[in-house]
Amino acid sequence: MTRRSCAIYAVGIICSSLLVVGIGLVVGQVFRTLMHNRLKKEIVLVEGSRVFESWKRPPPPVYMEFFFFNMTNVDAFLAGAKPQVTQVGPYTYREYRYKDNVSMVENDTKVSAYNIKSFIFLRDKSVGDPTEDLITTVNIPAWAVMNKLKGSFWKASAASVWMNTIPGAGLCTTRSVHELLWGYEDPLLARLAGVSSDVDKVFGLMANKNGTNNGEFVYHTGKTNYMDYGKVVTWMGQSQLTFWTTNQSNIINGSDGSAFHPLIEKNERIHIFTPDLCRTIYMEYEKDVEVRGIPAYRFTPPRSVLASKEENPDNEGYCITPKECWELVFSKSAHVAKVPL
């Protein structure tokens, strides 16, 4: 074989290889496009779709861990010293979620539902028995009353004297973990409930949140636009909140965290509306992970979500007063009757 023949032969092999690679790339891109188009059509929240049942009853387990700060210097604290605390926890609960009263509306472009949550205690994942372990902490109902009267010295003084006549209505209390979470009859609230029907005599950080719903949601099904899949349209009949001081802070944006549109990209900012926080938060890409052998992206809330208004001006609307605007701390007082939480 001559040198010329070898050159022609080599060029032929290279061209053939490039052609095969080119065809492979084209076929791969076409296949990817076809798969993406199919996903966009099939990932829709309608009866009979592949995702509808898992959306109504999410199969992955969800765990809620609670930690408490046990105060060890109550007398000194009440005399003006800084509280000394030790962290106790976790007390772990399996959280079960499902959607109830699911109804399709507006020609299957939207779906309404109630989100039900229930909690089951897991002893093997907890440090102790919540019905037996006692925590000494601030008495939130008492502090709530004093907080409402903080603008008037005389009213606050009179309330303090009155509260001292009620057993168990002091500024600190000792309760079981179960009581602090799921509720107990507070003596101060019981006294107030006797004169006002608007006052609930039972207080608990998670009171009325076990086996209950937090209002009606209406979601986009993704039928019209796959990017809207799972996004909240309204909550309790409202498309915007009224708790905060700016329109931007009151926006209901994103999903409820149980579903996200398909084909998420790393550069996206994912929004989640959560009634437990009374606001919308967002998450950004953190890193690539693997879940049961499947490649995935991990998204987490960045620092800016809870940053001060100086660092993130968008957070100014969550500052109810200048004194309730802390860095990396979020105040829910606007949503819980001005209780300092």
pTM value is: 0.76
d(CA 97, CA 230): 16
Query: Are 73 and 91 contacting, i.e. CB atoms less than 8 angstroms apart?
Result: no
- State residue 159's pLDDT score: 62
Q: Which residues contact 59 (CB under 8 A, 6 or more apart)?
A: none
Query: Are 158 and 165 contacting, i.e. CB atoms less than 8 angstroms apart?
Result: no
In sequence order, the β-bridge partners of residue 270 are 283
Type of residue numbered 178: H
Q: Look at residue 156 and tell me whether its pLDDT is greater than 70.
A: no
**Residue 241 CB: number of other CB atoms within 10 A?**
21
Alpha-helical regions (H) of the chain:
3-42, 52-56, 74-78, 140-148, 153-163, 177-182, 187-193
Query: Are 297 and 304 contacting, i.e. CB atoms less than 8 angstroms apart?
Result: no
In sequence order, the β-bridge partners of residue 104 are 111
* Stretch 105-112: mean pLDDT: 92
Residue 320 has what DSSP assignment? S
What is the percent of the chain with per-residue pLDDT over 90, rounded to a whole number? 44
- State residue 109's pLDDT score: 93
- State residue 268's pLDDT score: 93
Q: What is the pLDDT of residues 74-97, one digit of tens each?
A: 999 988 899 999 999 999 999 999
Structure tokens at 52: 């509808």
Q: Look at residue 267 and tell me whether its pLDDT is greater than 90.
A: yes
The residue with greater pLDDT, 132 or 10, is: 132
Question: What's the residue count for the chain?
Answer: 341
- State residue 192's pLDDT score: 78
Q: What is the pLDDT of residues 5-49, one digit of tens each?
A: 554 545 445 545 445 544 444 443 443 454 555 656 667 888 888
Structure tokens at 238: 């409202």
Type of residue numbered 250: N
Q: What is the pLDDT of residues 193-244, one digit of tens each?
A: 777 777 788 999 999 999 999 899 999 998 888 889 999 999 999 999 998 9
d(CA 197, CA 201): 10
- State residue 13's pLDDT score: 52
Q: What is the pLDDT of residues 282-309, one digit of tens each?
A: 999 999 999 889 899 999 999 999 888 8
- State residue 152's pLDDT score: 60
Report the chain's mean pLDDT, rounded to a whole number. Answer: 81
- State residue 233's pLDDT score: 95
